[in-house]
């Protein structure tokens, strides 16, 4: 009887120890996964994009895999028509991929509802669109302040913050100009200031220096760099300009439908 009891006790202890070890193992794994997902703020897995044009299914992007680390600057480089804007639109949830997934802070961005995606885009993301997308009936100052209004972030310091940002992109003297009264490069700088004003977690910048001369272009690249370093803002930029490589932490180049890491 005593022997049976000892065998039973031993088996019981073995089972308890196994359960304990399994729990410990899954805890360590969960912690590892959390730290990994915190490290990568945005991730693309096997992204593909086709457009249907006159019954032809045209492939634009294929098997795109990238991991974007928090507070870092990722540059995507490629010539005109290579798919830069398309990829940026997919990464930011503005466009659905044909295949694959985009992870943002461990959520699958492309499977969220349109409302949830808009909420994330408005509060967490800043955009510099290739064609600016400024509101025509608002002045430069109002276009930037509008982002704060959209996110209910207006307070007594807002106007000073907008003015300071306009100064930092060299447009203090153009604050009351409407978009139609601004040059292409000036509109681009307003678009940049608008992207930064609500201190977003992530900025998507489509050819942010595309309309600027060399001096202003370097100023904007420096501004983007200081933002990513000082404000811990993550930046994803696309451009044809190889000058971006030296400013960013990571760089990829379009090769065919895919991306190749160059930094």
Ligand X SMILES: Nc1ncnc2c1ncn2[C@@H]1O[C@H](COP(=O)(O)OP(=O)(O)OP(=O)(O)O)[C@@H](O)[C@H]1O
Q: Which residues bind ligand X (CB under 6 A)?
A: 51, 53, 60, 78, 80-86, 130, 240
Nearer to Mg ion, 56 or 80 (CB): 80
- Min separation Cβ 81 and Mg ion, Å: 8
Length of the chain: 263
- Minimum gap (Å) between residue 240 Cβ and ligand X: 6
Buried b (16+ CB within 10 A) or exposed e, 28-66: eeeeeeeeeeeebbbbbbebbbbeeeeeeeeebbbebeb
Residue 73's nearest CA partner among 253, 245, 211 is 245
86 interface partner picked from ligand X, Mg ion, none, CB below 5 to 8 A per type? ligand X
Distances (CA, A) of 129 to 135, 188, 194, 208: 13, 9, 11, 8
Q: Which of residues 88 and 197 has its CB atom nearest to Mg ion in the complex?
A: 88
Q: Minimum distance between the CB of residue 207 and Mg ion, rounded to whole angstroms?
A: 6
Task: Give the SS3 label for residue 207.
Answer: coil
Q: How far apart are CA 130 and CA 85, in angstroms?
A: 8
Residues numbered 222-241 forming contacts with Mg ion, rule: CB under 5 A: none
Q: Of Mg ion, ligand X, none, which one sits near residue 82, judging by CB under 5 to 8 A according to partner kind?
A: ligand X
Partner from Mg ion, ligand X, none contacting 80, C-beta within 5 to 8 A by type: ligand X
Is 107 one of the binding residues for Mg ion (CB under 5 A)? no
Cβ–Cβ < 8 Å for 53, 33: no
Closest to Mg ion by CB, 84 or 117? 84
Tell which one of 37, 67, 71, 85 touches Mg ion (CB under 5 A): 85
Q: Which residue is nearest to Mg ion (CB)?
A: 85
Q: Residue 4: name its binding partner from ligand X, Mg ion, none (Cβ under 5 to 8 Å by kind).
A: none
Beta carbon of residue 83, minimum distance to ligand X (angstroms, whole number) = 4
What is the enclosing helix (H) or strand (E) of 68?
strand 56-69
Q: Which stretch binds Mg ion (CB under 5 A): 11-19, 82-90, 107-115, 154-162?
A: 82-90
Answer for the pair 203, 128: CB distance below 8 angstroms, yes or no. yes
Residue 66: both structure tokens together: 């990238």
**Pick from 131, 133, 115, 132: which is nearest to 123 by CA?**
115
Choice between 76 and 192, CB closer to ligand X: 76
State in angstroms the smallest separation of the CB of 23 from Mg ion: 50
Of ligand X, Mg ion, none, which one sits near residue 25, judging by CB under 5 to 8 A according to partner kind? none
Query: CA 174, CA 183: separation in Å to the nearest integer?
Result: 11
Q: Which residues are near Mg ion by CB under 5 A?
A: 84-85, 130
């Amino acid at each position: 009887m005593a022997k049976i009891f000892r065998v039973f006790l031993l088996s019981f202890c073995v089972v308890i120890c196994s359960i304990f070890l399994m729990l410990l193992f899954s805890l360590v794994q969960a912690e590892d996964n959390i730290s990994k997902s915190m490290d990568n703020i945005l991730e693309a897995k096997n992204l593909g994009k086709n457009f249907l044009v006159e019954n032809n299914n045209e492939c634009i992007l294929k098997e795109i895999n990238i991991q974007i680390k928090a507070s870092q600057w990722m540059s995507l480089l490629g010539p005109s028509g290579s798919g830069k804007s398309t990829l940026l639109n997919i990464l930011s949830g503005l466009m659905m991929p044909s295949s694959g997934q985009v992870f943002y802070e461990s959520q699958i961005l492309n499977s969220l509802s349109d409302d949830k995606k808009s909420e994330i885009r408005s509060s967490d993301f800043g955009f510099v669109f290739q064609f600016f997308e400024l509101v025509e009936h608002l002045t430069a100052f109002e276009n930037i302040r509008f982002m704060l209004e959209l996110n209910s972030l207006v307070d007594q310091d807002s106007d000073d913050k907008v003015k300071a940002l306009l100064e930092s992109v060299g447009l203090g003297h153009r604050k009351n100009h409407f978009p139609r009264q601004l040059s292409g490069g000036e509109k681009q700088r307003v678009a940049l200031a608008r992207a930064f004003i609500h201190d977003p977690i992530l900025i998507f910048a489509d050819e942010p220096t595309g309309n600027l001369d060399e001096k202003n272009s370097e100023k904007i690249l420096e501004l983007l760099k200081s933002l990513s370093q000082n404000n811990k803002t993550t930046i994803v930029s696309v451009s044809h300009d190889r000058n971006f490589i030296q400013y960013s932490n990571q760089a990829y180049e379009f090769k065919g439908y895919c991306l190749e890491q160059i930094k």
